[in-house]
């Protein structure tokens, strides 16, 4: 994958939704990714990998429409060659992070679509799964991504999306050019 190819995928997300029939979350995938990335940037301005993970975390819904359970892994596999293991790992963990948060913070609300798909994605975690999650090197950062994920579903907040997306291109290009461990 090249930066151009990733940008093309994100542009196609302008008219793609997390469920093909648009019965899921109320914003298009690009709008959602932009909102999540902006929230992450406001919380962690010095972590462009986490910000870009927020931008791209749901592209699996575009790549494999209807695959709720597999969308995180599909997105991670797609971006790993370009964006590296940490961004891919954060993308992959955004669904386990949802299960983790729903387990350890049961009073926390989910959007109706997130609640519906939680069971498809494995439901609540066992205590062993919680322990394993907390030991994952990207686990804590993926929780941040997931908290932003839940806030990035505001109808009409992101305008105009393609101009906002263009502003992320230099951030992505710096990441691609950066030395990664």
CB of residue 57 to Fe ion, shortest distance in Å: 6
Min CB(170)–Fe ion separation in Å: 23
CB of 41 to Fe ion, least distance (A): 16
- Give min distance, CB of 44 to Fe ion, in A: 17
- 86/98 with CB nearer Fe ion: 98
Minimum CB distance to Fe ion, residue 164 (Å): 17
Q: Which is nearer to Fe ion, 30 or 172 (CB)?
A: 30
Minimum CB distance to Fe ion smaller for 24 or for 48: 24
Q: Of 49 and 58, which has the nearer Cβ to Fe ion? A: 58
Q: Which residues bind Fe ion (CB under 5 A)?
A: 58, 149
Question: In this complex, which beta carbon is closest to Fe ion, that of residue 165 or of residue 179?
Answer: 165
HEC readout, the chain: CCHHHHHHHHHHHHHCCCCCCCCCCCCCHHHHHHHHHHHHHHHCCCCHHHHHHHHHCCHHHHHCCCCCCCHHHHHHHHHHHHHHHHHHHHHHHHHHHHHHHHHHCCCCCCCHHHHHHHHHCCCCCCHHHHHHHHHCCCHHHHHHHHHHHHHCCCCCCCCCHHHHHHHHHHHHHHHHHCCCC
In angstroms, rounded to a whole number, what is the distance separating the alpha carbons of residues 159 and 139? 31
């Amino acid at each position: 994958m090249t930066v151009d190819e990733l940008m093309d995928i994100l542009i196609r997300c302008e008219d793609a939704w997390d469920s093909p029939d648009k019965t899921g979350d109320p914003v298009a995938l690009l709008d959602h990714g932009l909102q999540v990335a902006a929230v992450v940037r406001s919380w962690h301005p010095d972590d462009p990998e986490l910000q870009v993970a927020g931008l791209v975390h749901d592209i699996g819904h575009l790549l494999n429409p209807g695959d709720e359970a597999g969308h995180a892994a599909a997105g991670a596999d797609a971006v790993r060659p370009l964006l590296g293991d940490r961004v891919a790992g954060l993308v992959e963990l955004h669904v386990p992070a949802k299960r983790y948060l729903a387990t350890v913070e049961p009073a926390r609300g989910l959007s109706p679509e997130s609640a519906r798909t939680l069971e498809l994605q494995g439901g609540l975690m066992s205590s062993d799964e919680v322990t394993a999650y907390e030991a994952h090197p990207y686990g804590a950062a993926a929780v941040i991504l997931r908290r932003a994920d839940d806030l990035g579903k505001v109808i009409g907040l992101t305008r105009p999306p393609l101009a906002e997306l263009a502003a992320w291109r230099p951030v992505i290009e710096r990441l691609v050019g950066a030395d990664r461990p």
